[in-house]
Amino acid sequence: MKIFLKSHIERWALAYILSVAAILRLVQLGKRDFWVDEAFTGIAIRESWSGMMTILTHDVHPPLYYFGAKLLSSAFSYSIIGIRLYSVVFGILCVYMVYLIARELYGTRAGKIAALISAIAPFAIQYSQEARMYTQYAFCILVAIFFLSRSCNSPRKIYPILWGLALGLGILTQYIALIFVPICVLIILIWKKEGPYQPGTRIRNIVIGLAMISVIVAPWVSHAIDQYKRMKDGFSWTTTPQATDVMNTATSFILGAAPGGLAQGQIAPAYHLQGVNKNVTGIIVLALILFAGGILLRRKGYKAIPILLLIILPPAILYVLSRGDHSYYVSRYLIPVAFILYILLGAWLAQLKVRFASVALAVYILGIIFTDRLPVDTAWNAFAHTNAGQKNYYVLNPFDYVIAKYYVGADRLTLFNVDNPNERPVWWAAIGESLVSTSNPHDLVTRPDPVITFLPLHIPQKVPTSLSSVEFDIIDSFGTLYLMRPRASNE
C-alpha cells in the first residue's frame, strides 16, 4: 500500500501542485478593491475595441495584455472576478513553466519542488490576483527561457524561433521585458552545449531569436516611441533606488508584499516575519538565497550559471538605469525574477535528502503563515454593492476619480481636483476628454450630490485650502471610504 501511494503521489504530484496553485489563486479573488491601476484595466477593456485602442495609445503600456483580458472578462460582464481571472490563468501557467524549466535544467524532482514553491509563494499569488499584466509578462519570459535552453542544446531551428516569439510577446505585454533580450543573448554565448553542435549555431540562434522579436514588435514600434516620450515625462512617482530596496524586493519574492493600492508605489512594502524586524527578515532571506545559489553553483557548475544570471542581472540592470534622471526599478517589474528564484530554491532543495527538503518546505510554509500582513481594502466593493448606482458624486482627486469611474461610471462623476482645482487631467488615459469637472468649490455646496473621499488621502473633516470655506457632514462610510455632504462653514 505504501509503495502504491508513493507511486501515485509521484505520478500525480504536478497535477496536485497545479490544483493547489489554482485554489490559492481563486480564493477570495474578488474580495480586495480595485486599486487605480486595476481600475484603469477595467475602464479600458469595457470600451469597444476602437475605444480601448484609443485609451491604450494614450497610456504608457503595450496592448497585448488588454486584448486577452477583454476577450475573457467579457464573458463575465467585466466584473472584478472576471477581469482578474485572466491573471489567475497565467499565474497557474507560470507554475507549470517553472516546473518545465527546473526539470529541463535540474531534473524532475527539482521541477516538482520549484513548482510547489511557486504555487504557494505569496508574491506569485498576489500578482495572480491582480488585474494587471504581470503574470502574463512573467509567463512570456519563462516560456522564452525554456525554449532558449532547448535551443542551446539542440540544432533544431524551431527553438530560437519560439524563444524569440515568446520574448517578443513579453515585450508587447510589458516593456521592461526588453531587459531580458541582452541577458538571453549572453546566456546563448556562454552556454556549454551538451552533445555535438556545429560552429556558428550560437550566432544563428541569436540572429533567429532577435529577428523573431523584431517581427513581433514592429507593428507597435511607432506607438511605443510615443509612449516612451510620455512615460519619461510621467515617471515622477519613482525615486532613485537604494541598496535596501534590493533586499526589500528579495523579501517580497519570498514572503509577499502589500497588495493593491498599498503597493502602488515604486517598492511594495515587503512583509516580514512576526516578531522579527523587517531588516533582519531581509538579511535572513538574502542569506538563504546566497547560500542556495552557492550550493547549486558548487554542485551543478555551469548549469547553475544561467539561472544565477537571470536572478542577478535584471535587478542590476534596472538599478543601474535608475541612477539617471528616471527610475525604472519597481519591484513588480521584476516578477519573472521571482519565478526564476523559485527554480533556484527548488534545484537547491532537490539536492537534499527527502526528509530535509520536507522540513525546509514545512518551515517555509510556517514562515508564510506567521508573517505580518496588512489588511486588504474592501471599501470600494462594499460601496459599489450598496450605493453605486443611486447617486451622482463629486470626487476630490484624479486617483479616486479613476477608481470611482470603474465602479460608478463617468456619467455619474464630477471631479473637483482639490490639490489643483484649475487642473483638468484629461491627458490621463483612464480619464480622457469626457471628464466633467469643476474648479468652483461653490458648486459642491449648491448641489446636493455627495462627495466621495478616501481616508488615506483626505481626512473627512476639513479638506485643504481650495475648500477652506467648506465643511462636510459624513452621511455614510464604508471602511476607509467616506461619503460626505458639503455645507457652508457658516451654517
Q: Where are the domains of the chain?
A: 2-370, 379-488
What band does 196 get if pLDDT is binned at 50, 70 and 90? low
Q: Is the pLDDT of residue 456 over 70?
A: no
| Tens digits of residue pLDDT in 69-93 | 999 999 999 999 999 999 999 999 9
Q: Is the pLDDT of residue 490 over 60?
A: no
Q: Is the pLDDT of residue 18 over 70?
A: yes
- Give CA–CA dist 21/340, Å, rounded: 17
Give one DSSP letter per residue of 363-382, joined into a string: HHHHHHHTEE-PPPP-HHHH
Query: Could you tell me what percent of the chain has a pLDDT over 70?
Result: 88
| Helices and strands: H and E segment counts in the chain | 20, 7
415 φ, ψ (degrees, to nearest 5): -95, 125
Q: Is the pLDDT of residue 195 over 80?
A: no
Burial of 314 (0-12, 13-18, 19+ CB in 10 A): buried
What band does 268 get if pLDDT is binned at 50, 70 and 90? low
Helix (H, G, I), strand (E, B) or coil at 452: strand
- Give CA–CA dist 72/85, Å, rounded: 8
Region 252-266: mean pLDDT is: 74
pLDDT at 390: 66
pLDDT at 476: 84
pLDDT at 163: 97
pLDDT at 266: 52
Output DSSP code: residue 486.
E
What band does 454 get if pLDDT is binned at 50, 70 and 90? low
Query: Could you tell me what percent of the chain has a pLDDT over 90?
Result: 58
Model pTM? Answer: 0.93
pLDDT at 468: 64
pLDDT at 386: 82
Name residues whose C-beta falls within 8 Å of residue 176's C-beta, 6 or more positions apart in sequence: 137, 318, 328, 333
Using alpha carbons only, give the angle 347, 349, 351 rounded to the nearest 5 degrees: 75
pLDDT at 153: 86
Output DSSP code: residue 260.
G
- Flag the least confident range among 107-116, 335-344, 466-475: 466-475
Q: Is the pLDDT of residue 273 over 60?
A: yes
User: Comparing 345 with 199, which gets the higher pLDDT?
Assistant: 345
Neighbour order of strands in the sheet with 481-488: 413-415, 393-395, 451-454, 481-488, 470-478
pLDDT at 71: 97
Task: Identify which of 186, 191, 208, 173 has the alpha carbon closest to the alpha carbon of residue 61.
Answer: 173
Q: Is the pLDDT of residue 459 over 50?
A: no
| Tens digits of residue pLDDT in 210-235 | 999 999 999 999 999 988 877 655 55
- Give CA–CA dist 204/210, Å, rounded: 10
What band does 264 get if pLDDT is binned at 50, 70 and 90? low
Output DSSP code: residue 437.
B
User: Comparing 295 with 417, which gets the higher pLDDT?
Assistant: 295
In the numeric block, which cell numbers belong to residue 183?
541577458
- Flag the least confident range among 53-62, 269-278, 406-415: 269-278
Radius of gyration of the chain, Cα coordinates, nearest whole angstrom = 24
Q: Is the pLDDT of residue 126 over 80?
A: yes
pLDDT at 458: 45
What band does 272 get if pLDDT is binned at 50, 70 and 90? confident
